[in-house]
Amino acid sequence: MQTAPLTGRISKLTTLKGKQANALFWSPAGRFILLAGLKGFNGQLEFYDVDELRTMATEEHFMATNVEWDPTGRYVATSVTSVHEMENGFNIWSFYGKQLYRILRDHFCQFTWRARPPSLLSAEKEEEIAKNLKKYSKKYEAEDQDVSMLLSKQDKEKRRMLQDESDALVKKWKQLDEEEKMVRQMLRDGEASDEEEEYEAKEIEVEEVLEVLEEVVRYDEEQR
């Protein structure tokens, strides 16, 4: 309705048939709509892009009772309130239908987003940013890459420090092992080797008489 030359006019885009939905929820930013099958429809969710006339994702939040878009239109929450005795809690989704969080809470009653203050930018500035979004995206992607490389470098440095600490401990215990070698040799009757292969294992069987019982049996001549 806001696109010239159709400003202020309504035109039909399409008809969606056979959808498992009994409630529709528009993103505050427009363009995206969530088709929800609440309560009796067992939480069927369809994330739909109206500009492209395509379904982005089909998901489910079993027994869902409520849907709340965040003020930016980037995220949407579905929840199961305490009208049901089971599955109480909420899910957070991206605008295109990727589940980001799942939180279960007993006796959960309501989910609301924090209010978002009005933008400090003028309408013209917001429109200019939207038109040049790709340019801004490249800038911020480059900054994100720089941060990612810095974190990777810090992670590598941390792992190197841990490896150095491990090597130092191994060196310390090897030195201690060498210092105690003479003591072990004395305990082993002069055997200097610490290698287990240098020793021969022998199995020795020992038989031990536990009990001897003598019993006198009378012999009767008449039984002969």
Residue 97 has pLDDT above 70, yes or no: yes
Contact 113, 71 (CB under 8 A): yes
Residue 224 has pLDDT above 60, yes or no: no
User: How do residues 150-168 score in pLDDT, each as one tens digit?
Assistant: 888 888 888 889 999 999 9
| Range scoring the smallest mean pLDDT among 17-31, 71-85, 98-112, 142-156 | 142-156
The answer to whether position 194 is within a domain reads: no
Residue 4 has pLDDT above 90, yes or no: no
157, 110: one domain: no
87, 32: one domain: yes
pLDDT for position 11: 78
32, 85: one domain: yes
The answer to whether position 154 is within a domain reads: yes
Average pLDDT of 83-111?
A: 90
The answer to whether position 223 is within a domain reads: no
- Domain end call among 65, 89, 117: 117
pLDDT for position 169: 92
The answer to whether position 187 is within a domain reads: no
The answer to whether position 103 is within a domain reads: yes
pLDDT for position 3: 63
Residue 212 has pLDDT above 70, yes or no: yes
58, 111: one domain: yes
Question: 70: domain range?
Answer: 23-117
What is the number of domains present in the chain? 2
Q: What is the mean pLDDT of the chain?
A: 84
Average pLDDT of 121-137?
A: 82
Confidence of residue 189 (pLDDT cuts 50, 70, 90): confident
Average pLDDT of 192-216?
A: 76
Burial class (CB in 10 A: 0-12, 13-18, 19+), 123: exposed
User: How do residues 36-84 score in pLDDT, each as one tens digit?
Assistant: 998 778 889 999 999 899 999 999 999 899 999 999 899 999 999 988 8
Contact 98, 75 (CB under 8 A): no
